[in-house]
Amino acid sequence: MQFEKKNSNLRLWIIGLIIFSIIFFILGQVSERSKNEAGKEAHDEASETQEEQEGYSKVDEGTIFGINLESPLIITLFILVWIVLIIVLFLSERIGLTLVLIFAIITMMLDVSEISRKLGEGGILVFFVSLVTLSHLAIAILSVLGLRR
């Protein structure tokens, strides 16, 4: 009985951290989009002139393997995967913890690359990405602890 209670608490902590990371991920995306739209017109004109002078086009920094990680479709997929993983945690704890651990590590690596891109910009975006990264780290650690039991 005590063992199951500890696992239940661990599962609730993981679910809470997943929800926390989703919320701050969405807040970061909204903040980034509003910032991008505000400065887009001035930046577009300056970028086009500079690219024409240098003779090349800028590679999008938000892509990995040619996939734009900041597209609304990919963002929605990441959120849906987290929600599915919450459901899997309730259905099969061992499989759920394993999948959560794998996805937390993958997203944490993507978060670290995002921090390195946003570090020069500073401000609230780095704060949001850092919170999401730390929550993914905590999810991974708790998943390992749950798997070791």
Tens digits of residue pLDDT in 45-68:
555 555 555 544 444 566 776 777
Inter-helix orientation angle 72-91/93-118, to 10°: 150
Confidence of residue 83 (pLDDT cuts 50, 70, 90): very high
Q: How many domains does one find in the chain?
A: 1
The whole-angstrom separation of Cα 142 and Cα 7 is: 10
pLDDT at 107 over 90: yes
Domain membership of residue 14 (yes or no) is: yes
Percent of the chain with pLDDT over 70: 76
Domain membership of residue 124 (yes or no) is: yes
Mean pLDDT, rounded, of the chain = 81
The whole-angstrom separation of Cα 36 and Cα 61 is: 14
Between vectors from CA 82 to CA 28 and to CA 121, what angle results, nearest 5°?
20
The whole-angstrom separation of Cα 44 and Cα 109 is: 30
Domain membership of residue 142 (yes or no) is: yes
Domain membership of residue 43 (yes or no) is: no
pLDDT at 39 over 70: no
pLDDT at 119 over 80: yes
Domain membership of residue 50 (yes or no) is: no
Domain membership of residue 132 (yes or no) is: yes
What Å distances lie between residue 91 and 11, 49, 86, 125, CA to CA? Answer: 12, 56, 9, 35
Q: How many CB atoms lie within 10 A of CB 146?
A: 22
Q: What is the mean pLDDT of residues 13-31?
A: 92
Residue range(s) defining the domain that contains residue 12 = 2-37+70-148
Q: What is the mean pLDDT of residues 102-130?
A: 87
Domain membership of residue 83 (yes or no) is: yes
Q: For 133-144, how does the pLDDT look when each residue is reduced to its tens digit (9 = 90+)?
A: 999 999 999 999
Q: What is the mean pLDDT of residues 28-50?
A: 67
pLDDT at 114: 85
Domain membership of residue 46 (yes or no) is: no
